[in-house]
Structure 1
Amino acid sequence: MRELVRELVAPLLPRFSSGRARLRLGGNAAHYPDTAAELESFARPLWGLAPLAAGGGTFEHWDLWREGLANGTDPGHPEYWGAVTDIDQRLVETAAIGLALALAPETLWDPLTGRQRDTVATWLQNAMTVKAVENNWQFFPVLVGLGLKRVGVEAAPVAERLDLLESYGVGAGWYSDGRNPQRDYYIPFAMHYYALIYAALGDDPPRACRLKERAAMFAHDFQHWFTTDGAAVPYGRSMTYRFAQGAFWGALAFADVEALPWEVIKGHLLRHVRWWLNHPIQDDSGLLTIGYAYAQPHLAEQYNAPGSPYWALKAFLPLALPETHAFWQAGETAAPPLPVTSTQPEPGVTLMRCEEGRQVVMLTSSQHHNWVRHGAAKYAKFAYSTAFGFSVPAGTWGLEQGAFDSTLALSDDGDHWRPCEIPQDPSARAGLHYFRWNPWPDVDIETWLVACAPWHVRIHRVHSARTLQTAEGAFALNRDVLCHRTETGPGHARLLSPAGLCQIEDLAPSPARRGELVAALPGTNVMAPRTTIPTLLAELAPGEHWLACAVLALSDPPVEWANPPSLTLALAAQDAVATRLTQSLPWLELGG
């Protein structure tokens, strides 16, 4: 892993500005100015370089970062970053600098002159006093404080910030990312990650104990988010941070929290990093690109600049540990056997382990995030897969632009479509999910998702005052490979190729739905640039309608189509919902 850090950082070296305080990696389309974007590119490599230095790893170019730090914090220098202000992207980047001072002061701080130390200290001290977003951002001044204290500089108190952060705990080791329902990868790679750094380096033993206990509990849920080969479920915002998804495992080691056996923790981290290295996530010069499994600018958040992907280097935190630590001494073991389904009420998800754990499918019912770009696609789809990902829309006209995989989209004009955006009244228990949603004020939809791995079943009660076109998509499959077989017809759409198998099968006798294969616009799916989505279509007159279907996707497909579960079978263990649905659906007793 030491060599990998050096390899990832090497392409950055020719991009330094003359004063070394800026790294210019390309055009910046983020909502913050170039100064902050170029600071971001400068600072984020420190998430990997600082642990590398702390653990005794060599790196020949620390002089670039020392000079850049001195000049970027100097108000008299042309490359001054400017003072950090309230709700400022520059505050985000101070965290990596704080960590670097805390882990490797002899490398980054000690060689500076007295005047340079003063300017760095003053700039960071100011950053500790500004207003931060009330979410994981509260940790940034905390990490800055750890760095300042390590180098003997006075730091502002952080107890109130830490109290606020702890108040975001929701039980079972989970936090929310602020006072909202966001429980995505910002919980492992931000909330827990920073908390574990503080637990290891701070001077508050009672708080450290609490933070470690929460992380240990969380690990037992989080392990279900990974396949046996290290892939994590793509879900939520900031997917471009890539192997930061697995950074939590390294943070456990850094804080000496053996939440699972060390060999299991080590395996989770190393498999995850290797999984990413098997995907084209770098450009021809070696720079990390914006995207997920390939360069996909369309996936970017409004806060993603060219240097943003280097948050991935958070995965290298255990390099700060000595080689004698139990994490490094442990052998790497395969992922342990886990239950086929794991329902986690705190984030509102059910994880299904399919294909003997080689694929994980997440059913979700409770989250939304309309501030981020493509928030409905990133949070409010019915299912997300490690093999087939999810798709984001490329436009508002037609199914091809909408790329409506793993959702039900509706249209009142046949051209413009609306999927679920904000689930309401959600619940998740024992593989059953429920929520309501309103694509229009006069259209009310209740949705049930039922886990029956490797399938999942979807049931919708649609009550509409208007005529609607409906399109319900399965997963999106790579269409760059030669299809072996396709079938579309009344009540089904099926696709079989070397890329996988995908089926969507209607389970209700009416309204009649017809199958179609939708060729989504390129660059919409996070796993493959060009995909096809098996889809069921129907028109609904005003009134009440019940829709039901079963969906399957396999990355290692059989040679024949699979038989879907009946509704009776899918609901066999769901007494409460079965009672209600049996009363509403007279055909349910026929087995779907």
Structure 2
Amino acid sequence: MMTNEVNNDRTYWYELLYKIANPVISNLAFGTLVKNMPLAKSPIYDSRSPKVSYLEAVGRTFAGIAPWLTLPDDDTHEGKLRKKMKTEAVQGLENCFAENSPDQLLFAKEHQPIVDSAYLAHSFLRAPNALWNPLNSQTKQAIIAAFKLLRDRKPYYNNWLLFGSITEAFLLSIGEDIDRARLLQGVVRLNKWYKGDGWYGDGPNLTFDYYNSFVIHPMMVDTLGVMLAKKMVEAPAYEVALERMQRYAVGQERMISPEGTYPPIGRSITYRTGAFQALSQIVLMGKLPEEINPAQVRCALTLVKKNMYKKHTFDENGWLQLGFCGHQPEIADYYTSTGSLYMATTSFLPLGLPANDEFWAFEDAEWTSKKAWSAQTFSRDYHINC
């Protein structure tokens, strides 16, 4: 049922997204990202240069805010914040890709840029009219050159293969020459690693963590979407990937407890609500299975965010701190630094839906586990065969 009341959940979501993303975006716009972003590192941080953290922050933040920035300007409080962030995001990209910029990002060395170039490419696919088309030609050429520079390094033989694929898919989408083998390798190899019922292996083996959501499903579906548009694959290849993602999203919704918590399993749990990128993208695409009321996902994810984003999540200047629910640097993995944490923004993708969409406009609804544990009727659950 639709409600005519102002949706407080949406207000909470966009204000929280703005709070998380603004330190990255505003500093990038003013050329002070390197100057002001703290470089907190895991206690077991490896030998990679901490400078990769700046590109991590940029790529991951842009991937999360992109759908929200696609909405048209308006005079609401939300609209004003969104317009400000969109303007600063474009300005920030032009700044950091300019010659002699103090915020120049690292592309020429290390393997980590393979990852976060992919998130930046993903943001351009999600919001071409908001984030790519407004850029000046010099900035566009600098970004294209930076992405092509990565071809001298091979992705690791796991989910990283999709980072190469989606970066090439973006280049394909704008008519640039592509590395066809790099484009194909991710989608071909990950399909060979598919384990069934919505789960891909992260490499030959299944890993019980959130990498199917952090990377695999969103990048698989969107890479194949570009390839389908360019007639490089047939529709069934895309449809199978989408059905698998939908099945995985069903599992994600059921994993949210009645109290609005979820299991802290696997590595990279410091990415916080980025664990729900796959479910959030299915919502954004309007592809939730019909047995799931969109409002139940909204209510579940809202409570998760309220449980997670407490004051100790942020430092005194508003930057995310290492941790899961608070400041817990000891749980950060060896590749984790401040910039890594901005994967959290990718759970905010439904903000790309207008306020009158059923996800936002439907009355509050209880999610599956809340129904199940209060003796209410809830839908049966079945595996898929594709």
2:382 match: none
1:192 match: 217
Measured after TM superposition, the shift of residue 24 of structure 1 is 4.3
- Counterparts of 1:21 and 1:337, CA distance in 2: 41
1:250 aligns with 2:280: yes
1:47 match: 63
What 5-or-longer segments of structure 2 have no aligned partner? Answer: 1-12, 73-78, 377-386
What 5-or-longer segments of structure 1 have no aligned partner? Answer: 341-352, 358-592
- 1:454-496: CA deviations, max 9, x gaps? xxxxxxxxxxxxxxxxxxxxxxxxxxxxxxxxxxxxxxxxxxx
Measured after TM superposition, the shift of residue 290 of structure 1 is 0.4
Measured after TM superposition, the shift of residue 129 of structure 1 is 6.3
Partner of 1:304: helix, strand, or coil? Answer: coil
Measured after TM superposition, the shift of residue 202 of structure 1 is 4.9
Measured after TM superposition, the shift of residue 111 of structure 1 is 3.2
Choose from 116, 134, 137 the match for 1:114. Answer: 137
1:6 aligns with 2:29: no
Measured after TM superposition, the shift of residue 59 of structure 1 is 3.3
Which structure is richer in relative contact order (CA contacts within 8 A, separation 6 or more)?
Answer: 2
Would the aligned equivalents of 2:310 and 2:326 in 1 still touch at CA under 8 Å?
Answer: no
Measured after TM superposition, the shift of residue 73 of structure 1 is 4.3
1:147 match: 170
Partner of 2:160: helix, strand, or coil? Answer: helix
- Counterparts of 1:114 and 1:16, CA distance in 2: 19
Partner of 2:57: helix, strand, or coil? Answer: helix
Partner of 1:178: helix, strand, or coil? Answer: coil
After superposition, where does 1:15-414 map in structure 2 within 5 Å?
Answer: 15-16=27-28, 19=31, 22=34, 24-29=36-41, 30-31=45-46, 32-56=48-72, 58-70=82-94, 72-73=96-97, 79-84=103-108, 88-127=111-150, 130-157=153-180, 158-198=183-223, 202-203=227-228, 204=233, 205-259=235-289, 260-261=291-292, 262-278=294-310, 280-323=312-355, 325-337=357-369
The structure with more strand, counted as a fraction of residues: 1
Q: 1:109 to 1:159 in 2, by over 3 A?
A: same
- Counterparts of 1:152 and 1:54, CA distance in 2: 22
Q: 1:63 to 1:134 in 2, by over 3 A?
A: same
Measured after TM superposition, the shift of residue 146 of structure 1 is 4.0
- Counterparts of 2:60 and 2:151, CA distance in 1: 18
- Counterparts of 2:114 and 2:220, CA distance in 1: 17
Q: Which amino acid aligns with 1:267?
A: C
Measured after TM superposition, the shift of residue 245 of structure 1 is 2.2
- 1:20-49: CA deviations, max 9, x gaps? 674642235343213211222233221222
Partner of 2:204: helix, strand, or coil? Answer: coil
- Counterparts of 2:143 and 2:274, CA distance in 1: 27
Give the structure-1-normalised TM-score: 0.52
Q: Which amino acid aligns with 1:134?
A: Y
Measured after TM superposition, the shift of residue 17 of structure 1 is 8.8
Q: 1:178 to 1:238 in 2, by over 3 A?
A: same
Q: 1:176 to 1:330 in 2, by over 3 A?
A: farther
Measured after TM superposition, the shift of residue 325 of structure 1 is 4.5
Partner of 1:170: helix, strand, or coil? Answer: strand
Would the aligned equivalents of 2:308 and 2:326 in 1 still touch at CA under 8 Å?
Answer: no
- Counterparts of 2:198 and 2:61, CA distance in 1: 29
Would the aligned equivalents of 1:224 and 1:338 in 2 still touch at CA under 8 Å?
Answer: no
The total of aligned residue pairs comes to 343
After superposition, where does 1:568-579 map in structure 2 within 5 Å?
Answer: none
Would the aligned equivalents of 1:231 and 1:275 in 2 still touch at CA under 8 Å?
Answer: yes
- 1:4-32: CA deviations, max 9, x gaps? 22122233456449646746422353432
Measured after TM superposition, the shift of residue 143 of structure 1 is 2.7
Measured after TM superposition, the shift of residue 62 of structure 1 is 4.1
Q: Which amino acid aligns with 2:57?
A: S
Partner of 2:115: helix, strand, or coil? Answer: helix
Q: Which amino acid aligns with 1:238?
A: S
Q: Which amino acid aligns with 1:44?
A: R
- Counterparts of 1:77 and 1:339, CA distance in 2: 53
The structure with more helix, counted as a fraction of residues: 2
Would the aligned equivalents of 2:309 and 2:325 in 1 still touch at CA under 8 Å?
Answer: no
Q: Which amino acid aligns with 1:173?
A: G
- Counterparts of 1:272 and 1:126, CA distance in 2: 39
- Counterparts of 1:274 and 1:246, CA distance in 2: 15
Q: 1:333 to 1:100 in 2, by over 3 A?
A: same
Q: Which amino acid aligns with 2:348?
A: F
Partner of 2:252: helix, strand, or coil? Answer: helix
- Counterparts of 1:60 and 1:234, CA distance in 2: 34
Q: Which amino acid aligns with 2:22?
A: A
Q: Which amino acid aligns with 1:306?
A: T
- Counterparts of 1:88 and 1:147, CA distance in 2: 19
Q: 1:17 to 1:292 in 2, by over 3 A?
A: same
- 1:436-470: CA deviations, max 9, x gaps? xxxxxxxxxxxxxxxxxxxxxxxxxxxxxxxxxxx
Partner of 1:34: helix, strand, or coil? Answer: coil
Q: Which amino acid aligns with 1:126?
A: L
- Counterparts of 1:200 and 1:256, CA distance in 2: 15
Partner of 1:59: helix, strand, or coil? Answer: helix
- 1:488-539: CA deviations, max 9, x gaps? xxxxxxxxxxxxxxxxxxxxxxxxxxxxxxxxxxxxxxxxxxxxxxxxxxxx
